[in-house]
Structures are given as structure tokens and as C-alpha cells.
Amino acid sequence: MPARALLPDRSDEPTWLRPAGCNSVLKYTGDPALQREIRDEAAAYFERTGIARDGGVRMLVKSLIIVAWVVTTYLLMLFVATQTWQFILLAFSMGLALAGVGFSIQHDGGHGAYSAHPWVSRAAALALDAIGGSSYMWHYKHNVLHHTYPNVEQVDDDISQAPWLRLSSTDPYFPIHRYQFVYSWLLYIFMTPKWLFVDDFKRLFTQRAGPRRVPPPTRRGIATLVLGKIFAYSWMLVIPLSIHGASWSMFGLYVLIAWVWGVAMAITFQLAHCNDTAEFGNWPGEGKPMEMGWAEQQIATTVNFSQGNPVLTWYLGGLNYQIEHHLFPKVCHIHYPGLSAVVKDVCERRGVTYRVQPTMWSALRSHIGHLKRMGAAA
Ligand SMILES: [Zn+2]
């Protein structure tokens, strides 16, 4: 496969993403040699093994399993379950299944990595709209801001959780942050409801994702968002409430689903980026370039975890190999374990630190350590 196809979409900030009042574009000017070497070695890997970088039939089968998981859980909740314990188990199942749709279908689709056919990837990206998010707004928030500038304050919207959480040293400090390593787990109850019912609309109307501008919405973008919300609200709210009726038990069920879904999603991101070994960077300021090169930045701000756990790798859509995902966002996640050996090799040769936590629990300890450190008095 041509090495060029493995390059990221862009490594410079598009002009429309400038912060208000800023006239310069945020550029990477560090040494591009590391990026070139990783790209060439990865191209050689695909050449040598003869495998295609898209998902193929494996992704189709995986997607069908996950969709069946969601639909079965949904139907059991609507028509079969009668006991409280059954509803509680199904709420856990639904939360994990919805997160799974994001990890293994929508995420690859949104990056254009799901299939060799762009329309198939676009269809997979719409899985996010089907579960209540917006593939249109996600593109700017995730593909552009987070992926181009991971862990860069004032740019990467994913680490902007202030004032609720203090994830980086430039966030404002409040004494309550001392307890964020405990209360953050409860805050995740609000994560998906806020995203589904507030944030997407806010981003659309304000044309901003966190501190950054996003371009004026297109008609197609608005239509996708509105139709997606109508579809998702119908199956998530209208149908269940018309069958079971509104009650405190139903409310509790929604809270439980939201909590499981939120924790699963948050933890996958936090373990990879917000821990006590990943680096954080400040926005370099008006007219100044990024300190590191693009590939160096991706590797320094990202940590892999639990690499030897095939079940977790399957469920998380390869996002425990987050370094490879950041270096090859346009390559389907099923190839990340194979690519990790390639990347690790290049890093060792060049003396670049390749960060891995051996298990999910050690990664969790590292994340809690980060929350405690950021929560200590500034
Ligand atoms: Zn991504």
C-alpha cells in the first residue's frame, strides 16, 4: 500500500479553528523524521503481510454482534423483563453495548477507517446518530481538535472538563478537586445525557467546540443532527415510556444506563490520556508553533494499556492501543495490535518513550494518581 495513504489528514490547524482574537494558525514544526519513519515502517508491514488496512468482513461480523447485543437487550427490557434485578442486569448490558457501538462501529466509521469504501465508513459513522450523538459535531470535536492536538490545553476539547474536573495544571483550581478521584465516577452519570441533549445543540448554535470555533453548519450537517436526534429520542425515550410509563423506577433505570455508558466511555479515554505518565502541553500562544513534531506529540500524550487482553481489545475497539490509533486514525482498529510492534520498534531505535500500562488496573491506578495530583492544591 502507498505510504502516503497512512499519513494523517492534517498536522496543521485549519484556519477556521483559530481561537477568537487569534490570527495565527497552530502549526507543528518539530522534526518530522519520526513521523516519516513510522509511516514507512507501517507501510512495509502492510506490504509484507499483504493485509488490507480496512476492516473487511471481520468488522462487518463484529458490528452485527454489537448491534444484535443492543437490540436484544432493548427488546428484553421492553417486553420480557419483569423483576427489578432483571432490569438492573439489562441496564448494565445496555450501557456497555451502547459504549461498544461507539468503540467498534462509529469510531472507525467517523475516521473513515471502517471500510475501503468511503460510503460504508460514512454509514458506520451514522451509528453515533442512531444512539443519540451527532457524527457531524463529533468530526470537529474528535477528529480535528482531539486528534490533531491531544492533551493541548485550550485546543483539545476532551480535556476541557473545568470546572467539574481539573485534568490539567492550567485548569482553574477549586478545593473540591481534592476529592475528584472519588466524585468523578459519579459525575459520569451526566456525561452522555449532557452530550445527547445539550452539548451537540450548543456546539451547533454557538459554532464552537470548547474554546475553539467550528465552521458554520452545513444543511446536510444540520439535517443529520436533527434526524438522528429524532430517531434516537424515539427509541430511547418515547417507545419505552409509552410501554412502561414514566415512574421513578424508569428514571432510576435511565440513570443506571447513563452511568455505565458514561464510565465505559470516560475510562477508555482517561486511561489513555489522563494518567500520571502521559504528557500535557500548553497552547503555545499567538504566532508560536507546537514544540514537538506531530508524531512525537501523539506518542508523548498517549498511553496503551492491557495489550495482552484480547477480550478487552475486542470490546474497546482497539482503543487500549491508543498510541497506534493516534498515529494511524485512518487504519481500522483490528490492525492496531500488529502495528504496535512496528511503532514500539521505531520508538526504541529513536529513544522515544513508548508508554504502556500492563493491565487495566495499573492504568486505572495511574489515572487515579493523576486525578489526585491535579486535585492537590495548585
Ligand atoms: Zn479517534
What's the mean pLDDT in 342-350? 95
DSSP string, 23-63: -S--BB-S-THHHHHHHHHHHHHHHHH---SS-HHHHHHHH
Residue 211 in this model has a pLDDT that exceeds 60: yes
Ligand 1 centroid from CA 179, angstroms? 29
Q: How confident is the model at residue 21 (pLDDT cuts 50, 70, 90)?
A: very low
Ligand 1 centroid to Cα of residue 177, in Å, is: 28
114: CA distance to ligand 1 center in Å? 12
What average pLDDT score do residues 318-343 get?
Answer: 95
Task: Report the pLDDT averaged over residues 321-349.
Answer: 95
244 C-alpha to center of ligand 1: Å?
Answer: 37
What is the Å distance from ligand 1's center to 46 Cα?
21
Of 89-103, 142-156, 195-209, least confident by mean pLDDT is 142-156
Residue 348 burial (CB < 10 Å; 0-12/13-18/19+)?
A: exposed
- What's the gap in Å between 227 CA and the centre of ligand 1? 24
At residue 223 the predicted structure's pLDDT band, cuts being 50, 70 and 90, is very high
Tell me the pairing of strands 356-357 and 304-305.
parallel
Residue 136's closest CA among 225, 213, 201?
225
Average pLDDT of the chain is: 88
CA of 223: how far to CAs of 44, 134, 136, 218, 229, in Å? 42, 11, 10, 9, 10
DSSP lists the bridge partners of residue 213 as 208
Strands (DSSP E) along the chain, which ranges?
A: 208-209, 212-213, 304-305, 356-357
Answer whether residue 79 shows pLDDT above 60. yes
Distance 110 CA to ligand 1 centre (A): 8
Distance 124 CA to ligand 1 centre (A): 14
Predicted pLDDT of residue 7: 52
- CA of 123 relative to ligand 1 center, distance in Å: 17
pLDDT at 350 over 70: yes
In the structure, what pLDDT confidence band is assigned to residue 228 with cuts at 50, 70 and 90?
very high
Contacts of 334 (CB under 8 A, 6+ apart): 55, 58, 59, 318
Q: How far is the CA of 327 from the centre of ligand 1 (A)?
A: 10
Ligand 1 centroid vs 22 CA: distance in angstroms?
27
Q: How far is the CA of 108 from the centre of ligand 1 (A)?
A: 8
Å from CA of 279 to ligand 1 middle = 18
Ligand 1 centroid – CA 107 distance (Å): 6
Closest among 101, 41, 34 to 317, alpha carbons compared: 101
Give the global pTM: 0.89
- Provide the pLDDT confidence category of residue 172 given band limits of 50, 70 and 90: confident
- What pLDDT, on the 0 to 100 scale, is given for residue 1? 44
User: Model confidence over 229-253: pLDDT tens digits?
Assistant: 999 999 999 999 999 999 999 999 9
For residue 35, give the C-alpha cell: 513521523
Distances (CA, A) of 352 to 35, 283, 300, 348: 12, 22, 8, 6
> How far, in Å, from the CA of 242 to the mean position of ligand 1?
36
pLDDT at 6 over 90: no
Mean pLDDT, range 106-129, rounded to an integer: 94
The torsion angles phi and psi of 357, rounded to 5 degrees, stand at: -100, 130
pLDDT at 14: 53
Q: How far is the CA of 309 from the centre of ligand 1 (A)?
A: 20
Q: Where are the domains of the chain?
A: 3-375
DSSP reduced 3-state for 332: coil
- d(CA 138, ligand 1 centre) in Å: 10
Ligand 1: distance of its center to the CA of 6 in Å? 15
Distance 104 CA to ligand 1 centre (A): 11
